[in-house]
Structure 1
Amino acid sequence: MASTRPVPFARTVIGPEARSAVDRVLESGWVTTGQEAIEFERELADYVGASRGVAVSSCTAGLELALRALGLPRDARVLMSTDTFCGAAGAIAHAGLTPVLVDVDPRTAVPTEENIRAAVREVGGVSAMVVVHLGGHPVDVEAAAAAAGLGLDHVIEDAAHALGTEVGARRVGSISRATCFSFYATKNLAIGEGGMVTTSDEDFADTLVRTRLHGMSRDAWRRYRPGAGWRYDVADDGLKANLTDVQAAIGRAQLRRFGADQARREAIAARYDAQLAGLPSITLPPRPVEGRHAWHLYAVRVQPGFPVPRDELIELLSARGIGTSVHFIPLHRLTWHVEHCVVPATGLPGADEVFEGTVSLPFDQNLTDDDVDEVCAALWQIGGIR
C-alpha cells in the first residue's frame, strides 16, 4: 500500500541566499576557482578549527591528494575500515598505495582498537591509516592511530559524513594531518558536488593547492588578474580537482545556516529514537559515549526476530513511498576491492553482521515531523505491532 505521504531518502534544498550568491558570481564574469573559493576555504577551516582549507572537486579527490602528499613509498600499506564507501579504497590505490581492510565493531560499525591491532599484526605493520567517521559517529582518532602504531601525521580522516562531528571537545577537521569533507547532494552541507581538505600543516596545504590543479605553481586566478604574470611551473604530479566559485558561493551560504541545520538533524534523530525505541527486533543507532554525532545518517539494524528480513523491509517501505538506503556494502564483498585490497585471512565478520541488517532511514534537515511519523508508523505496521 502506497503511503499518503511519500518520504524520499534525502532532499537537497538550495535556499534563496545561496541562489543569490550564485547570481552574484555569475554576474562577476569569474566562475572557476577564485576569490569565492578562497573565502569558503577560510570560513570552513575557521569552523573546524584548522589553519587551512583547500577546496577540491570531491572528498574522494581530497583523499587521493592528501595520501599522495604524505610522500609514502609506492605500494605502502594504508589501513582502512571495510565498512565505508568504495571511493576511499580507490583513492588509496590511485595514490599508488595498498588498502588494508580492517573489521568493525558490530554495534558501532567502526573499528575498535583491538580490530586495528589485529589487522596491523596480520600484515606486519602499516604506513598510514584512513579513519572513517561513519554516518557522523565520532571515532577517537588518537586512540585509533596509537593502536595502528602511527603518529597523527600519518592519519587522514575521511569525514565525508562528519562535518559537525566532535571527538571529545574537538571538531573533526582539526585533529589529524588532514581531514577530507564532502559536499555531495545528500551531505549535511550540500552543494551538489565538491569537497574540502582541512589541515594545520602549512606546507601540506600548499602541496594540496598545487596538486589539485595539475601541480601548477600558479592557478588561473593568480595568473589572469590585472598586472599578474602568465608564467608557471609544474614541479608536482597533480590532478584536475579544483572547486569552482559557483560551488563555493553555494557552500558559503549553506555554511551560514549549518548550525540551524545541525540542530534540526539532532531533533529528527531524537524523534526517531523516541518513536522506535520500543519496536521489537529493531536496534537504533548507537549514541557516542563522548563527543558529538553529526547525524549524517540514521541507520537502524534489523535483527533476526523482525517479521521480515532487511531486503524485504526495504521493498515494503518503497511500496509505501518511503526511500531508504544501505550504508554500505562492505568493501570485501565488492569484486574490484577483493582483487586490490588486503583482506584478512580470518574474514571480516563484524562488518558482515552489520551489513546483513543495516538500513538507513530517510534523513535530512528538511524532514518534517510528519515525515518522521510516517516512516515510524510504517515500521511499526510492517513489524505487525500496530
Structure 2
Amino acid sequence: MTTRITAVPRVVTMPAPAGEIAVPFADCHITADAQAAALRVLQSGWVTTGREAVAFEAEFATAVGATHAVAVSSCTQGIELALRSLGLPPGSLVLSSTMTFCGAVHAIVHAGLQPVLVDVDPATGMPTPATVRTAAQAYGRPAAMVVVHWAGDVADVPALAEAAGVPLDRVVVDAAHALGTYAGVVPVGSGCGATCFSFYATKNLPLGEGGMITTDDDARADWLRRARLHGMTADAWRRYLPGGSWRYNVADAGLKANMTDVQAAMGRAQLAHFPAWQRRRAQIAARYDEQLAGLPGVRLPHRPAPGDGTHAWHLYPVRLRLNGGGDRDKVIAALSERAIGTSVHFVPVHRLAYFSQAALIPSTGLTGADALFDQLLSLPMYPRLTDAQVDAVCRAVTGIAHRGISGKGTE
C-alpha cells in the first residue's frame, strides 16, 4: 500500500470542485520492491541494525561520493551526533541559518552548544558571507557552523565557512533537502566535516523516518558508529555473529540513534529508483517555470547559475507579492478550497518562542528572513505528481494572482 500525505500544517484539504484535480502537497511513495524488502527483513529474524544497514551505508556512500556513510534514526540526530563528534567545550558558539527547520537548531542545543542565528538573502533563502560575518562578529568567533542547502538549492559552503572563520572540518552540512543537489559537478555529501541527510516521509528518498551522516574522516566515522548506539564498542549484530563476543566497552557518551534493518532494506530498494525520481522532479520544476514565469506578483524559486550546481527540487517555493505584499495565508486558503495542498518552509527559527530565548540573535535583527517568510509558499513537488496536476496548480495560482493584482476574477 502507498501512503499519501493529504494534510500538512496550515492546510485543510477540501473536496475538489467538479472538474478540478485534487493535489496533495506531498506523497510518500514506498515502492513495491521496498515493501518486499521490508517484509523479507521482518521474516529473517533480525530486524534491527545489521547486515542491511551496513549494505545501505556502502551503497549510499557510493551514490554521493563519500568515503563513509553512517545510518541513523533521523537527520536531526545526525546533526547532533556530528556536532558532538567535534568534542567542543559546552556552550561553544555554533552558527545556523534562521531559515531552517527547528530540529536543526534543537540539535545544536541538545549537543550542549549555543546556537547563533544567521540572516538570509531573501532571494535565495540562505545565508551570505555578509550575513555570516555579521553574526560571527556579534558574539565572537564561532566554533562550528551548520549550513543548510535550503529547498535543494546550493549553498556556497566554502565561502560561508571562510566568512565565519570556521575550518571545513567543523562545518556540519544539513542536507535534509539536498540529496540530489550538486555543487558544481560534485554531489552534496563529501568534502566537509560531516553531511547529514533525511529520509523523512516528504524527502527525495522517503522511508518515513531515518537519516544518514556522510564523512571522509575515518576516525570520525568510527566514533559516529559507536555514538549512535550508546557509545558501545560493538553493536548487537556484531556481538551475536558466529564467533562474536558478548563483551563491549563504553568510552564516550552516546545516543540511541541507530537505523533498523527494516528501514535500511527499504532504503536500498528506494535508492535504485532515485535517479528516475530526480529526473521527474526536474521535469516538474520546468513545467512550473514555464507556466508561472512572468506571472505578476509571483517570483519563481532561485536555482544555481549554469555551471554552479544542480538543484535537487526537494521543494518548489515561490514568493508572493500580490497587491504590494498580499496575504500569503489567503492564497493558501484559496488553493485549499481548490483541493491543492501547500506548505511554508519555514517559520524562521527566531520567530519561535523557545528559540527567541535559547538562541543568540544579532541586534541588527534578521530582516532578510522576516521579509522572505511573509512571502513564502511551497507548491506540491514529488515524482508522482502528474502533468495534469501541475497544470491544475498553475491554473489556480494564475487565477489567484490575477485577482490579487487587478481585483478581477479571471482564471
TM-score of the two chains, using structure 1 as the length reference: 0.98
Range that drifts further, 214-223 or 301-310: 301-310
Task: Please tell me whether residue 284 in structure 1 is matched to residue 326 in structure 2.
Answer: no
Contact kept? 1:55, 1:197, Cα under 8 Å: yes
* 1:309 CA drift (Å): 1.3
Provide the residue aligned with 2:372 in structure 1.
Answer: 354
Secondary structure (helix, strand or coil) at the match of 1:105 reads coil
Q: Give me the whole-angstrom Cα distance separating, in 2, the residues matched to 1:2 and 1:14.
A: 25
Q: Give me the whole-angstrom Cα distance separating, in 1, the residues matched to 2:138 and 2:163.
A: 13
Q: Give me the whole-angstrom Cα distance separating, in 1, the residues matched to 2:264 and 2:16.
A: 39
Provide the residue aligned with 1:88 in structure 2.
Answer: 104
Provide the residue aligned with 1:380 in structure 2.
Answer: 398
Secondary structure (helix, strand or coil) at the match of 2:277 reads helix
Gaps of 5+ in 1: none
Provide, for residues 140-190 of structure 1, a one-character-per-residue CA deviation record: whole Å limited to 9, x for no partner.
111111111111011000000000101112111002100000000000000
Provide the residue aligned with 1:100 in structure 2.
Answer: 116
* 1:29 CA drift (Å): 0.9
Q: Give me the whole-angstrom Cα distance separating, in 1, the residues matched to 2:312 and 2:324.
A: 28
Paired residue total:
386
* 1:304 CA drift (Å): 4.0
Provide the residue aligned with 2:66 in structure 1.
Answer: 50
Provide the residue aligned with 1:161 in structure 2.
Answer: 177
Pick the aligned partner of 1:180 from 174, 189, 196: 196
Contact kept? 2:97, 2:119, Cα under 8 Å: yes
Q: Give me the whole-angstrom Cα distance separating, in 1, the residues matched to 2:299 and 2:368.
A: 16
Provide, for residues 325-383 of structure 1, a one-character-per-residue CA deviation record: whole Å limited to 9, x for no partner.
00000011001101110011111000001100000001111100001001011111222
* 1:6 CA drift (Å): 0.7
* 1:276 CA drift (Å): 0.4
Gaps of 5+ in 2: 1-14, 404-409
Task: Please tell me whether residue 321 in structure 1 is matched to residue 362 in structure 2.
Answer: no
Provide the residue aligned with 2:277 in structure 1.
Answer: 261
- Which residue type is aligned with residue 296 of structure 1? H
Secondary structure (helix, strand or coil) at the match of 1:257 reads helix
Q: Give me the whole-angstrom Cα distance separating, in 2, the residues matched to 1:235 and 1:167.
A: 37
Pick the aligned partner of 1:126 from 130, 138, 142: 142
* 1:308 CA drift (Å): 4.7
Q: Give me the whole-angstrom Cα distance separating, in 2, the residues matched to 1:129 and 1:249.
A: 32
* 1:305 CA drift (Å): 2.5
Contact kept? 1:281, 1:305, Cα under 8 Å: yes
Provide the residue aligned with 2:154 in structure 1.
Answer: 138
Secondary structure (helix, strand or coil) at the match of 1:11 reads strand
Contact kept? 1:301, 1:359, Cα under 8 Å: yes
Contact kept? 1:324, 1:361, Cα under 8 Å: yes
Secondary structure (helix, strand or coil) at the match of 1:17 reads helix
Q: Give me the whole-angstrom Cα distance separating, in 2, the residues matched to 1:63 and 1:287.
A: 25
Provide, for residues 272-317 of structure 1, a one-character-per-residue CA deviation record: whole Å limited to 9, x for no partner.
0000013101000012121011100000000143795100000111
Contact kept? 1:178, 1:199, Cα under 8 Å: yes
- Which residue type is aligned with residue 148 of structure 1? A
Displaced runs of 4 or more, over 6 A: none
Secondary structure (helix, strand or coil) at the match of 1:111 reads coil
Provide the residue aligned with 2:316 in structure 1.
Answer: 298
Q: Give me the whole-angstrom Cα distance separating, in 2, the residues matched to 1:224 and 1:380.
A: 61
Contact kept? 1:282, 1:306, Cα under 8 Å: no
What root-mean-square deviation, in Å, do the aligned CA atoms of Structure 1 and Structure 2 show? 1.1
